[in-house]
Structure 1
Amino acid sequence: MDTDVLVIGGGNAALCAALMAREAGMRVLLLESAPRAWRGGNSAHTRNLRCMHDAPQDVLVEAYPEEEYWQDLLKVTGGLTDEHLARLVIRASSTCRDWMRRHGVHFQPPLSGALHVARTNAFFMGGGKALVNAYFRSAEALGVEIRYEAPVERLEIEDGRFVAAWCDGQRITAKSCVLAAGGFESNREWLREAWGQNARGEWPSDNFLIRGTAYNQGVLLRHMLEEHQADRIGDPTQAHMVAIDARAPLYDGGICTRIDCVSLGVVVNREAERFYDEGEDFWPKRYAIWGRLVAQQPGQVAYSIIDAKAIGRFMPPVFPGIVADSLPELGQKLGLDAGTFMQTMERYNAACRVGKFDHTALDDCHTEGVAPAKTHWARPIDTAPYYGYALRPGVTFTYLGLKVDDTAAVRFAGQASRNLFVAGEMMAGNVLGKGYTAGVGMSIGTAFGRIAGRNAALAAQGRPAVAGAVQD
Structure 2
Amino acid sequence: MIDVLVIGGGNAALCAALMAREAGASVMLLEGSPKVWRGGNSQHTRNLRCMHDAPQDVLVDAYPEEEYWQDLLKVTGGLTNETLARMAIRASSSCRDWMRSHGVHFQPPLSGALHVARTNAFFMGGGKALVNAYFRSAERLGVRVRYNAQVSDIELRDGVFVAAHLAEREVDGQRLPAERIEARTCVLAAGGFESNREWLREAWGQNERGEWPSDNFLIRGTRFNTGVLLRRMIDLGADIIGDPTQAHMVAIDARAPLYDGGICTRIDCVSLGVVVNREGERFYDEGEDFWPKRYAIWGRLVAGQPGQQAYSIIDQQAIGRFMPPVFPGTQAQSLAELAGKLGLPVAAFVDTVERYNRACQVGTFDHTALDDCHTEGLTPAKTHWARPLSKPPFYAYPLKPGVTFTYLGLATDETAAVHFNGKASPNLFVAGEMMAGNVLGKGYTAGIGMAIGTAFGRIAGTQAAASAGFSSSTTNTESHHADV
Deviations 1:377-408 (A, max 9, x none): 00000001110001000000000000000000
Say whether residues 1:438 and 2:446 are aligned partners: yes
Cα shift at 1:199: 2.8
Give TM-score scaled by structure 2 length.
Answer: 0.95
The equivalent residue for 1:470 is: none
**Alignment correspondent of 2:17:** 18
Structure 1: how far apart are the matches of 2:349 and 2:409?
41
SS at match of 2:399: strand
TM-fit CA distance, 1:200: 3.7
Q: Any idea what SS the aligned residue of 2:118 has? A: coil
Q: Which residue of 1 aligns with 2:76?
A: 77
1:331 to 322, 339, 348: 339
Q: Are residues 1:353 and 2:361 paired?
A: yes
CA distance in 2, matches of 1:126, 1:193: 37
Root-mean-square deviation (Å): 0.9
* 1:368 alignment counterpart: 376
CA distance in 2, matches of 1:299, 1:64: 40
Question: What CA distance in whole angstroms lies between the structure 2 residues aligned with 1:90 and 1:225?
Answer: 28
What is the aligned counterpart of 2:228 among 219, 232, 235?
Answer: 219
Of 317, 321, 327, the match for 2:329 = 321
Which residue is 2:467 aligned to? 459
Q: Provide the secondary structure at the position in 2 that maps to 1:241.
A: strand
Q: Percent identity?
A: 80
Q: Compute the displacement of 1:463 (Å).
A: 7.8
Higher mean Cα deviation, 444-453 or 168-177? 168-177
- In structure 1, the gaps of 5 or more residues are 465-472
In 1, distance between residues paired with 2:97 and 2:166? 35
Greater than 6 Å deviation, 4+ residue runs: none
Taking the aligned partners of 1:441 and 1:317, their CA distance within structure 2 comes to 23
TM-score w.r.t. length of structure 1: 0.97
Name the residue aligned to 1:146: 145
Name the SS of the counterpart of 1:323 in structure 2. strand
2:86 corresponds in structure 1 to 87
Matched, 1:177 2:186: yes
Does the aligned pair in 1 maintain the 2:273–2:389 contact within 8 Å?
Answer: yes
Q: Which secondary structure state, in structure 2, belongs to the residue aligned with residue 60 of structure 1? A: coil
Q: Does 1:239 align with 2:247?
A: yes
Q: What per-residue deviation string (whole Å, max 9, x for no partner) do you get for residues 222-258 of structure 1?
A: 00012x1100000000000000000000000000000
SS at match of 1:247: coil
Which amino acid in the other structure matches residue 119 of structure 2?
T
What amino acid does structure 2 have at the position aligned with 1:9?
A: G
8 A Cα contact 2:149 2:166, kept in partner:
yes
Which whole-Å CA distance do the structure 2 matches of 1:39 and 1:418 have between them? 29
Give per-residue Cα distances to partners, 1:130-158, cap 9 Å, x unaligned. Answer: 00000000001001000000000010111
Distance 1:342 1:322 in 2: 16
How big is each residue's C-alpha offset from its partner over 1:395-422, in whole Å with a ceiling of 9 and x where there is no partner?
Answer: 0000000000000000000000100000
1:263-284 Cα distance to aligned partner (Å, 9 max, x none)? 0000000110000000000000
> How far has the Cα of 1:201 moved from its partner?
3.0
Alignment-derived partner of residue 343 in structure 1: 351
Cα distance in 2 between the residues matched to 1:384 and 1:286: 27
Amino acid paired to 2:183: A
Corresponding residue number in structure 1 for 2:107:
108
Q: Residues 153-212 of structure 1: CA distance to partner in whole angstroms, max 9, x if unpaired?
A: 010111111000001310000000000000000000000000001234321100000001
Q: How far 1:343 sits from its partner (Å)? A: 0.6
Q: 1:326 offset after TM fit, Å?
A: 1.0
Tell me if 1:192 matches 2:201.
Answer: yes
Spell out the pairing of 1:23-62 with structure 2 (5 A cutoff): 23-62=22-61
Give the whole-Å Cα distance in 1 for the aligned partners of 2:289 and 2:366.
13
CA distance in 2, matches of 1:155, 1:369: 58
**Cα drift, residue 352 of structure 1:** 0.1
Structure 2 residue aligned with 1:468? none
Matched residues in 2 for 1:171 and 1:103: separation? 31
1:273 match: 281
- For the pair 1:201 / 2:201, whether they are aligned, the reply is no
Indicate yes or no: 2:430 matched with 1:422.
yes
Tell me the amino acid that sits aligned with residue 396 of structure 2.
G
Q: In structure 1, how many angstroms separate the alpha carbons of the residues matched to 2:285 and 2:209?
A: 27
Counterparts of 1:462 and 1:383, CA distance in 2 = 66
Partner of 1:85: helix, strand, or coil? helix
CA distance in 2, matches of 1:336, 1:126: 40
Where 1:26 maps in the other structure, the secondary structure is coil
Amino acid of the structure 2 residue aligned with 1:389? Y
Partner of 1:137: 136
Match of 1:250 among 258, 261, 279: 258
1:390 maps to 398
Amino acid at match of 1:7: V
Task: Indicate the SS of the match to 2:427.
Answer: strand
Deviations 1:276-324 (A, max 9, x none): 0000000000000000000000000000000000011111110010011
Q: Show the counterpart of 1:284.
A: 292
Tell me the SS of whatever aligns to 2:424.
strand
Task: Tell me by how many angstroms 1:108 deviates.
Answer: 0.4
Structure-2 separation of matches of 1:13 and 1:202 = 36
**CA–CA separation in structure 1 for the residues paired with 2:350 and 2:458:** 54
- In structure 2, how many angstroms separate the alpha carbons of the residues matched to 1:382 and 1:462? 66
What is the CA–CA distance in structure 2 between the aligned matches of 1:334 and 1:79, rounded to whole Å? 39
Question: 1:405 is matched with which residue?
Answer: 413
Distance 2:339 2:156 in 1: 58
Letter of the structure 2 residue corresponding to residue 216 of structure 1: N
Contact 2:25-2:470 within 8 A present in 1 as well: no
Counterpart amino acid of 2:319? I
Instruction: Provide the C-alpha distance between the structure 1 equivalents of 2:256 and 2:443, rounded to a whole number of angstroms.
Output: 22
Report the residue type matching 1:220 in the other structure: L
